[in-house]
Amino acid sequence: MLLAGWDSVRPPAAGKLAELHHWRLGQKNFSLVAAVRDRYGDVWLAGPGVKDQPVGPLKESEAARMLQAALDEPSGPLARKRIADLLRAHRAGDPVLGLYGEGLFANHYLTKVLPDDPMWQQAVQRAGSWLGLRGHTLIEAMGFAIMRNTGKGLVLTARGTGGGGIVR
């Protein structure tokens, strides 16, 4: 991953981002993405493919979450797939970027119905502190207690009245 700063008052041109990403490809065996942050805090992401159109401007926090999701993958190929999928979804205007309902919720329900629920904004605010959490720490922050089951399973039980939250 290459991180760079852009000091011009104008946003970086797609050609310059592609040039930077191409240079990065020549420096490493395995390419991922080049991230450029401008003086205003906006971020552009180029890659992972040579012909991929850069994505941006993004909020710094959104770009950081996308990059962290790739870095959290257990291998280079999986990281490349993860960032490519996130950038492709962003280019396509996916309203639930990076959200995998695993069949539990329909995207329509998550994007059209729930935001009108009066408790939605409270849940979004409560979940903001969860963005950097993973694994058991995230599950416990969501108000669950984790009990080990025999074998590889876990049993989650409600702990207190913490209530849920929505991470966007």
**Per-residue pLDDT tens for 103-126?**
666 777 777 888 888 888 888 888
If phi over 0 gives left and psi between -120 and 50 gives alpha, with beta otherwise, what is residue 160? Answer: left
CA dist 32 → 42, 44, 84, 87, 97 (Å): 20, 14, 9, 12, 19
Question: What's the pTM?
Answer: 0.61
Q: Where are the alpha helices (DSSP H) in 28-165?
A: 60-71, 76-91, 107-108, 120-127, 135-141
Please determine, for residue 97, whether its predicted confidence score (pLDDT) is greater than 70: no
Give the model's confidence band at 98: pLDDT under 50 very low, under 70 low, under 90 confident, else very high.
low
Q: Tell me which of 22-31, 34-43, 151-160 is least confident.
A: 22-31
What percentage of residues in the chain have a pLDDT greater than 90?
2
CA dist 124 → 63, 127, 131, 142 (Å): 19, 5, 11, 12
The kind and range of the H/E element at 99 are none
Residue-wise pLDDT tens digits, 142-165: 888 888 777 777 777 877 645 555
Cα 161 from Cα 100, distance rounded (Å): 25
Please determine, for residue 37, whether its predicted confidence score (pLDDT) is greater than 60: yes
What percentage of residues in the chain have a pLDDT greater than 70?
80
Query: Mean pLDDT throughout 71-77?
Result: 87
Query: Mean pLDDT throughout 73-83?
Result: 88
Give the model's confidence band at 43: pLDDT under 50 very low, under 70 low, under 90 confident, else very high.
very high
Q: Where are the alpha helices (DSSP H) in the chain?
A: 14-27, 60-71, 76-91, 107-108, 120-127, 135-141
CA dist 46 → 55, 105, 146, 150 (Å): 7, 31, 40, 46
pLDDT at position 1:
60
Please determine, for residue 52, whether its predicted confidence score (pLDDT) is greater than 50: yes
Give the model's confidence band at 168: pLDDT under 50 very low, under 70 low, under 90 confident, else very high.
very low
